């Protein structure tokens, strides 16, 4: 075993390649821990689109020693909240329990992840559950508009495909395909265990050795080429909607970029709260929309910054024009010191407050290790935020917001509504 960083944050790599990262928080009585897979939906082929999420669901249907009901009962008995997620670049299974229940909870999660039963009947049931989940997205326009945007933005890449898959791909999944894909990716070298709370690092290592030590590393390398973003204008008519939903986006720096903190600042200035420029202009000054915000969707090699608004179809043209006005403004005018400092305080407060729970600290540990292979202290993060200057914000705005890079998606009752490329000129 190779051990590094002997501090409150510690890291150990087992001989089979599995990594354990922990943070000791002696002032709490809880422990949050999770098992994370370094493979997300972006590594799927077109034919297997949705299988990563499908397996995440299927693991809860039972193991070789526990039924789905027993998994739920034992989790409830521990007082924790066992949950999971599938992202485009990672999968996570996590829970939070009292420190005295760590060993029992760890065994439960380990059993869930390492010894699924994959009964054919359960796979059929889960297929139906996920089909209903897909229908739910179709009925949730503020989610659906982003699905449509991503598909058109990355039309030739897996990042543009839905994490849930499609009804067509889901129909292909049988026990054999599910088991084969699971065996291929759920390997020791693809797994990470992260834990934070009132724990001893050595105890977590011992539990990991006991329940994951038998796993082997693999030789298959999962790759996903860097995506090429495609500017587009996409209109989707959905007559039953009362509001129309708008997304304007452009490529932005990746998770690994040196400009990542500048990207966060730029996004907050534009649409990160009630004092943001878009909120004040579109909602407060003009009364065009109830909801408007900007956000970033960063990946390890790419990403995009997007602006979302929901408004009546009659006010969409003015909403687009108001948004473009703010994008031009942030490119031409340097951000004032007062606005920049206020935004920095907002970002630092958000980052630090989000790290006050064991669950958030556990998630941060996992994200830092999987993305950077190292830990960032709160002080290091604050220094990076403080280093952002008005000039750097303006430079990045000019790099991101280019006419030829912009993409737009509108979803709603669009009878008679059109958008011309000239409306997106910066």
Residues classed as catalytic: 56
Six-digit token pair at 228?
């090429």
- Residue 401 CA to residue 314 CA, distance in Å, equals 26
Q: Look up tokens 């917001």; give the residue.
A: 401
Beta strand pairing call for 191-197 and 30-37 = antiparallel
DSSP class of 408: E
Q: Look up tokens 């990672």; give the residue.
A: 90
Six-digit token pair at 324?
């473009």
- Residue 35 CA to residue 195 CA, distance in Å, equals 9
CA dist list (Å): 408 to 176, 247, 328, 421 = 40, 6, 16, 10
Number of H helices, E strands in the chain: 15, 12
Cβ–Cβ under 8 Å, residues 304 and 374: no
Cβ–Cβ under 8 Å, residues 189 and 15: no
Q: Please, which residues have CB within 8 angstroms of residue 416's CB and are 6 or more apart in sequence?
A: none
Name the phi and psi angles at 35, rounded to 5. Answer: -110, 125
Residue ranges with strand state E in 168-277:
191-197, 233-237, 244-251
Cα angle value 86/359/106 (rounded, 5°): 75
Q: Which of 329, 337, 345, 344 is nearest to 390 (CA)?
A: 337
- Residue 50 CA to residue 52 CA, distance in Å, equals 6
- Residue 178 CA to residue 193 CA, distance in Å, equals 23
């Amino acid at each position: 075993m190779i051990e590094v960083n002997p501090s409150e944050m510690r890291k150990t790599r087992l001989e089979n390649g599995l990594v354990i990262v922990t943070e000791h928080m002696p002032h709490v009585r809880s422990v949050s821990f999770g098992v994370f897979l370094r493979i997300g939906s972006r590594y799927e082929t077109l034919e297997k689109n949705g299988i990563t999420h499908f397996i995440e669901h299927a693991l809860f249907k039972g193991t070789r020693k526990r039924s789905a009901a027993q998994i739920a009962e034992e989790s409830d008995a521990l007082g924790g909240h066992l949950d999971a997620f599938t992202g485009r670049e990672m999968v996570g299974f996590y829970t939070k329990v009292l420190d005295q229940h760590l060993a029992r909870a760890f065994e439960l999660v380990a059993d869930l992840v390492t010894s699924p039963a994959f009964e054919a009947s359960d796979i059929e049931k889960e297929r139906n559950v996920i089909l209903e989940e897909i229908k739910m997205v179709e009925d949730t326009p503020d989610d659906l508009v982003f699905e449509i945007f991503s598909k058109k933005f990355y039309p030739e890449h897996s990042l543009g495909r839905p994490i849930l898959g499609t009804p067509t791909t889901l129909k292909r999944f049988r026990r054999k395909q599910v088991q084969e894909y699971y065996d291929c990716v759920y390997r020791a070298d693809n797994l990470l265990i992260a834990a934070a709370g009132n724990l001893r690092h050595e105890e977590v290592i011992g539990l990991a050795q006991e329940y994951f030590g038998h796993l082997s590393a693999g030789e298959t390398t999962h790759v996903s080429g860097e995506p090429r973003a495609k500017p587009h204008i996409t209109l989707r008519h959905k007559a039953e909607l009362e509001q129309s939903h708008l997304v304007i986006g452009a490529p932005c720096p990746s998770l690994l970029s040196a400009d990542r903190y500048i990207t966060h600042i730029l996004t907050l200035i534009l649409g990160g709260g009630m004092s943001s420029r878009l909120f004040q202009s579109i909602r407060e000054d003009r009364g065009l929309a109830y909801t408007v915000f900007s956000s970033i969707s960063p990946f390890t090699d790419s990403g995009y910054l997007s602006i979302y608004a929901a408004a009546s179809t009659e006010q969409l043209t003015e909403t687009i024009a108001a948004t473009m006005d703010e994008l031009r403004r942030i490119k031409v005018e340097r951000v004032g010191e007062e606005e920049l400092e206020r935004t920095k305080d907002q970002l630092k407060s958000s980052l630090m407050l989000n790290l006050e729970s064991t669950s958030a600290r556990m998630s941060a540990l996992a994200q830092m290790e999987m993305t950077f292979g190292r830990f960032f202290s709160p002080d290091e993060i604050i220094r990076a935020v403080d280093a952002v200057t008005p000039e750097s914000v303006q430079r990045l705005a000019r790099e991101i917001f280019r006419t030829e890079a912009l993409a737009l998606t509108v979803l709603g009752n669009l009878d008679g509504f059109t958008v011309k490329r000239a409306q997106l000129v910066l």
